[in-house]
């Protein structure tokens, strides 16, 4: 009788260990795509473009990610600065807590550009920046699939003066202005705002894309459901430019 009791006890213990092991494996699979927010913040920089005129100074905001490619450090950001990249405008590069790391004229920044397409601009990292930040790695795998979960760096609301990280799911992959992009939907319903452009999109600890645009909607008005052009509303979706193949 004692042998039977001991045998049953051992079987229960083994089953319990197996269940715990399976639970751990399941949790590991769930969390395996998650990137440590501190790693993201360490590689992320905030960009401020100061447009200086005789009358006043206005500021426009963006983001970028410091990455290491074949032993060299680069900044990956968006590519719709347009007329902000005038030589006399000033660029401030700040850390994830909004502390100024470097300041330069746009003319100097433009001299660092090594690649650009509709969605992405890649620049050589300004001298000394790598001593103050930790460069990230790029993802060399093929593009993600709908349903994959990623982490997105953006500016904290409402102050916009620090980096926070959102979880988002890939909804689809499409072409936009000749560039491949992911459509992302944040899991908590948070919106991507102007100033978040260039923020890194991460998968399994590596950079895979940069935020390009927010997806907006409009409110219908009147009995005929006419769209009110002045009622643009941010949604929980955004577009992210997939990294160029030559930089993967």
pLDDT on residue 11: 36
Q: What letter does residue 124 receive in the DSSP assignment?
A: E
Among the four given CATH numbers 2.40.10, 3.50.30, 1.20.5, 3.40.50, the one describing domain 149-247 = 2.40.10
pLDDT on residue 94: 97
Range list for CATH 2.40.10 in the chain? 37-131, 149-247
Q: In this structure, is the dihedral angle defined by the CA atoms of residues 161, 247, 187 and 230, taken in order, positive or negative?
A: positive
Distance of CA 41 to the CA centre of its chain: 10
Q: How many CB atoms lie within 10 A of CB 88?
A: 10
CB 118, CB 79: distance < 8 Å: yes
Q: Which pLDDT tens digits describe the chain residue by residue (248 residues)?
A: 444 433 333 333 333 334 443 433 333 333 446 899 999 999 999 999 998 888 888 888 999 999 999 899 999 999 988 777 777 889 999 999 999 999 999 989 889 999 999 889 999 999 899 999 999 998 766 679 999 999 999 999 889 999 999 999 999 999 988 889 999 999 999 999 989 999 999 999 999 999 999 998 877 665 556 666 666 799 999 999 999 877 76
CB 43, CB 95: distance < 8 Å: no
DSSP 166-183: EEEEEEEEEEETTEEEEE
Tokens 């998968």 identify what position? 203
From CA 242, how far away is CA 228, in angstroms rounded? 32
CB 152, CB 115: distance < 8 Å: no
From CA 55, how far away is CA 16, in angstroms rounded? 73
pLDDT on residue 23: 36
Q: Which CATH number is associated with domain 37-131?
A: 2.40.10
């Amino acid at each position: 009788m004692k042998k039977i009791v001991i045998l049953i006890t051992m079987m229960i213990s083994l089953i319990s260990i197996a269940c715990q092991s399976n639970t751990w494996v399941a949790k590991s699979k769930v969390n395996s795509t998650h990137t440590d927010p501190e790693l993201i913040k360490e590689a992320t920089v905030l960009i401020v473009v100061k447009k200086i005129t005789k009358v006043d100074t206005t500021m426009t905001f963006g983001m970028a990610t410091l990455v290491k490619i074949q032993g060299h450090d680069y900044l990956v950001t968006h590519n719709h600065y347009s007329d902000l990249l005038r030589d006399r405008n000033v660029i401030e590069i700040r850390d994830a807590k909004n502390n100024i790391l470097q300041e330069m004229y746009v003319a100097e920044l433009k001299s660092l550009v090594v690649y650009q397409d509709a969605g992405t601009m890649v620049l050589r990292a300004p001298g000394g920046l790598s001593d103050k930040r930790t460069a990230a790695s790029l993802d060399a795998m093929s593009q993600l699939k709908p349903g994959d979960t990623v982490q997105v760096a953006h500016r904290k609301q409402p102050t916009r003066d620090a980096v926070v990280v959102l979880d988002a799911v890939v909804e689809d992959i499409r072409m936009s202005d000749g560039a491949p992009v992911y459509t992302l939907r944040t899991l908590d319903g948070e919106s991507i705002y102007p100033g978040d452009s260039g923020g890194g999109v991460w998968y399994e600890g590596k950079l895979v894309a940069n935020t390009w645009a927010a997806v907006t909607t409009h409110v219908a008005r009147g009995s005929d459901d006419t769209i009110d052009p002045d009622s643009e509303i941010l949604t929980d979706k955004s577009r992210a430019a997939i990294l160029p193949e030559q930089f993967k």
